[in-house]
Amino acid sequence: MQAQAPLELIRGDSNDVRASVIWLHGLGADGYDFAPVVDMLNLAQVRFILPHAPSMAVTRNNGYVMPAWYDLYSPSESQQEDQAGIRRSEDYLNSLIENEIKRGIASDKIVLAGFSQGGAIALHSATRYPKKLAGVLALSTYLPLKPALAKEAHVANLATPIFMAHGKSDDIISLERALASLSILQASGFTVHWHEYAMAHSVCAEEINDIRLFLTGLLQQDLVE
């Protein structure tokens, strides 16, 4: 995958980084989309990696070219999914994980995060990754390629906490679709912490606070004063 170098955000001295969060944006956005949220999280000793998806023609959007982690063919996944595109993005995310490990961050201090389409890649990749991760943030999203999970799931991250959050009035990815993914993840033995918020396809202040508490618990970091 040809991708622009990710945005990296660190609060404080980069020499003190002890954990990494790799956060994938949604369809049509870029790595800068969640930079304000990272600022609000206010976490020290954490490197936030915010990748930029490559641009591609998205079938569901009449072939309009936009940043996307994979192609979309219909409003639901009842029809064909872009398996090749999903797996290309999985490979790219895995390369970012391995790069953090080479920089001295243990895999169990790395969190995969994503919103919407980016969250789908985070979920897909984390359930298959062969090394223990710190956790997963799956925001306003769903699990792609569900039929393949039973065969491809890796035991390394069955106990890895997954923070899965969704808006009760989401009209892009329905709450029902997210709940169906939740059921499959739980039935497969994954550890999912489910959250619902009074919002649409977005993030809210309450959710950001819950994410901060989740990350500080996982990474055992103190908030910046």
Strand runs labelled E in 75-177: 110-115, 135-139, 161-167
Kindly report, residue by residue over 79-103, the tens digit of the pLDDT: 689 999 999 999 999 999 999 999 9
* Residue 221: pLDDT band with limits 50, 70, 90: low
Degrees, nearest 5: CA angle 28-83-65: 25
Question: What is the per-residue burial (b if ≥16 Cβ within 10 Å, else e) of 45-80?
Answer: bbbbbbbbbeebebeeeeeeeebbbbbbeeeebeee
Q: What is the domain extent for residue 42?
A: 7-219
| pLDDT computed for residue 225 by the predictor | 41
d(CA 212, CA 191): 19
- Coil, helix or strand at residue 199: coil
The tally of domains found in the chain comes to 1
Could you list the active site residues? 116, 170, 201
d(CA 198, CA 167): 6
| pLDDT computed for residue 2 by the predictor | 64
Phi and psi for 194 in degrees, rounded to 5? Answer: -90, 140
- For the chain, report the end-to-end CA distance as a whole number of angstroms: 39
CATH number for the domain spanning 22: value is 3.40.50.1820
Kindly report, residue by residue over 126-179, the tens digit of the pLDDT: 999 999 999 999 999 999 999 999 999 999 999 999 999 999 999 999 999 999
Give the containing element (helix H, strand E) for 149: helix 146-152
| Cα-Cα-Cα-Cα dihedral sign, residues 190, 169, 34, 204 | negative
Q: What is the rounded average pLDDT for all residues in the chain?
A: 94
Inside any domain, residue 1: no
Single-letter residue type at 212 = R
Strand runs labelled E in the chain: 7-10, 19-24, 46-50, 55-58, 64-67, 110-115, 135-139, 161-167, 191-197
For the chain, what percent of residues have pLDDT higher than 70? 94
Inside any domain, residue 174: yes
Inside any domain, residue 224: no
- Coil, helix or strand at residue 190: coil
Least confident of 3-7, 39-43, 65-69: 3-7
